[in-house]
Amino acid sequence: MLVFFKERLVLLSVPKTGTTAYHTALRDRADIVYSDPPELKHAPLYRYNRWIRPMFKKVCDAEMEVVAVMREPVSWLGSWYRFRRRPFMNGKENSTSNVSFDDFVLAYCQGQQPGFANVGSQAKFLETQPNGCAVSHLFRYEQQERLIGFLEKRLSTTLVLPQQNVSPAMELSLSPQVDAQLRKKCVSEFDLYASIG
């Protein structure tokens, strides 16, 4: 998570959406950088709302706008699947090296997900809070140029993004049956992604 106080802007770091590159490019420009532990770097909106937002409101009488990125849900799961197939994950509980992509997604659709498929939810990460705290600016991962343009204009800077934390390349596709099950089980993910203008 990055905080730009003068601009009243917070950039959330949704896992597997390329935000590590934005952290690297903008960390010197940010007023506050949450990079460790991962629970703070990847703090979801509800955690921001509960702990960080009140700090700015009470101490600085400032309300921040929240920026976030969302990835197409199948692509997002594919990135997690590839990330957990890296060789050093072999033998670990979260490894997907002995699991097909279909089986990974089926496990993700279970109520009680096994460790290798327990990767969270973008919709839950970005969910508007009961007090009205919401993401002000939501961008599609697949349209990086829109986010870059927004940040460059808002922060009066030029962005050069390094490639970082990239999952290994691999062709992935879901069988029609598994794709249908995912879309039925995770309606909120697909609806939120479709709502991004």
State which residues of the chain have pLDDT below 50: none
Q: What is the pLDDT of residue 180?
A: 98
How high is the pLDDT of residue 195?
97
**pLDDT at position 104:** 98
Task: State the pLDDT at residue 151.
Answer: 98
Look at residue 165 in the predicted model and tell me its pLDDT: 63
2-4 and 9-11 strand pairing: antiparallel
Q: Angle at the Cα of 195 (from 65 to 141), degrees rounded to 5? A: 70
**What is the per-residue pLDDT for 47?**
97
Q: Show Cβ contacts of residue 98 under 8 Å, excluding neighbours closer than 6 positions.
A: none
Per DSSP, the three-state class of 9 is strand
The pLDDT, as a whole number, for residue 169 is: 76
Domains, the chain, with CATH or none: 2-195 (3.40.50)
Task: For residue 67, give the DSSP letter.
Answer: E
Q: Rounded to an integer, what distance in angstroms lies between the CA atom of residue 107 and that of residue 84?
A: 14
